[in-house]
Amino acid sequence: MNRSILVVDDSLTVCLMLKSWLVKRDFNVEIATNVNIAKQMVKDQPFDLILSDIKMPDIDGFSFLSWVKKFDAEILVIMMTGFADIESAVASMKSGAADFISKPIEPEQLFKKIEEAFQIQKNSQKRNMFCNEFIMPPGEEYSKLLIQLEIFAENKAHLLIIGDRGTGKNSIVKYLHEKGFHICKPLVIVDVDDAFHKLNSRYLVDSSHNAASLLMKKFREAKGGMLSIRNADQLDINLQDELLKMLTKQNRDDDFTQVILSTEKKVAELQKILIPKLFHLLEKDCVVLPTLKGEKQVIEAFISYFLRFANFTLDKDIESIDSKLQEHLINYTWPGNIQELKNMIMKAALLTDEKQISSRIIPELFGRKDTKKENRSVSVNPLHKLRKENYEKEKILEALELARGNKTMAASILNIDRKTLYNKMKLYNVMI
Residues 307 and 172 both lie in one domain = no
Residues 16 and 114 both lie in one domain = yes
What confidence tens digit (pLDDT) does each residue in 396-416 have? Answer: 887 887 777 777 677 767 767
What confidence tens digit (pLDDT) does each residue in 268-301 have? Answer: 999 999 999 999 999 989 999 999 999 999 999 9
Residues 157-172 have a mean pLDDT of 93
Residues 38 and 170 both lie in one domain = no
In-domain check, residue 177: yes
Q: Does residue 383 surpass a pLDDT of 70?
A: no
Q: Which residues contact 190 (CB under 8 A, 6 or more apart)?
A: 214, 215, 218, 227, 228, 229, 230
Residues 86 and 192 both lie in one domain = no
Amino acid 376: pLDDT: 38
Q: Does residue 362 surpass a pLDDT of 80?
A: yes
Which of 97, 124, 151 corresponds to the end of one domain? 124
Q: Does residue 154 surpass a pLDDT of 80?
A: yes
Residues 256 and 343 both lie in one domain = no
In-domain check, residue 120: yes
In-domain check, residue 220: yes
* Mean pLDDT, the chain, whole residue set: 83
Full domain range(s) for residue 185: 140-288
* Structural domain count, the chain: 3
Q: Does residue 358 surpass a pLDDT of 60?
A: yes
What confidence tens digit (pLDDT) does each residue in 28-43 have? Answer: 999 999 999 999 998 8
CA proximity to 231, closest of 142, 160, 155: 160
d(CA 70, CA 110): 25
Residues 215-236 have a mean pLDDT of 92
Residues 58 and 111 both lie in one domain = yes
Question: What is the pairing mode between strands 258-263 and 356-357?
Answer: unpaired
User: How far lies 1's CA from each of 26, 28, 118, 334, in Å?
Assistant: 10, 10, 14, 41
In-domain check, residue 131: no
Residues 336 and 264 both lie in one domain = no
For the domain that residue 66 is a member of, what is the CATH number? 3.40.50.2300
Q: Identify the band that residue 374 occupies on the pLDDT scale cut at 50, 70 and 90.
A: very low
Q: Identify the band that residue 371 occupies on the pLDDT scale cut at 50, 70 and 90.
A: very low
Amino acid 85: pLDDT: 62
In-domain check, residue 133: no
Amino acid 388: pLDDT: 56
Residues 305 and 271 both lie in one domain = no
Residues 33 and 51 both lie in one domain = yes
Amino acid 137: pLDDT: 84
Q: Identify the band that residue 427 occupies on the pLDDT scale cut at 50, 70 and 90.
A: confident
d(CA 230, CA 408): 22
Residues 69 and 152 both lie in one domain = no
CA proximity to 378, closest of 370, 13, 367: 370
Segment of 126-140, 178-192, 333-347 carrying the highest mean pLDDT: 333-347
Q: Does residue 236 surpass a pLDDT of 60?
A: yes
**Which range, of 52-66, 107-121, 226-240, averages the lowest pLDDT?**
52-66
Residues 315 and 423 both lie in one domain = yes
Amino acid 368: pLDDT: 52
Q: Does residue 95 surpass a pLDDT of 90?
A: no
Which of 65, 95, 124 corresponds to the end of one domain? 124
For the domain that residue 393 is a member of, what is the CATH number? 1.10.8.60
In-domain check, residue 221: yes
In-domain check, residue 12: yes
Which of 124, 159, 189 corresponds to the end of one domain? 124
Residues 210 and 330 both lie in one domain = no
In-domain check, residue 206: yes
Residues 336-351 have a mean pLDDT of 90
What confidence tens digit (pLDDT) does each residue in 194-214 have? Answer: 766 555 544 444 455 677 888
More confident residue, 79 or 385: 79
